Amino acid sequence: MARRGSERLGIGRTSAADYARRERGVHRQVGKPIIEVDEETWSRAFTRILELAREQRLTAYDAAYLELAMRLGVPLASKDSDLCDAAERVGVTVLRAA
């Protein structure tokens, strides 16, 4: 029986344990996680983020980035002028892309 290309490469057959092992290996190589997951954003999704979206006339997606920048006290970098304008209105430092 012929094997599909993805099976020959092992794609689609990676277990959660395999992913965890690979991630630990990457952490050892670079010394820190590549992506940091903010655990608080989910709990704020249907409260502060939607309020911010309505108040600033943003999508929930954009409001989530704005809320995170506000909460962490970090600048927001974006090419989205509506998001940058909203950030400035609420006092977040903006790094506008050229």
For residues 1 and 24, membership in a common domain is answered with yes
**Between residues 10 and 16, the one the model is more confident about:** 16
Confidence of residue 8 (pLDDT cuts 50, 70, 90): very low
- pTM value is 0.59
CA distances from 97 to 14, 52, 84 (A): 38, 23, 10
**Between residues 96 and 15, the one the model is more confident about:** 96
For residues 8 and 32, membership in a common domain is answered with yes
For residues 23 and 53, membership in a common domain is answered with no
Question: 21: domain range?
Answer: 1-36
How many domains are contained in the chain?
Answer: 2
pLDDT tens digits for range 43-91: 777 789 999 999 999 999 999 999 989 988 999 999 999 999 999 999 9
CATH number of the domain residue 84 falls in: 3.40.50.1010
Confidence of residue 40 (pLDDT cuts 50, 70, 90): confident
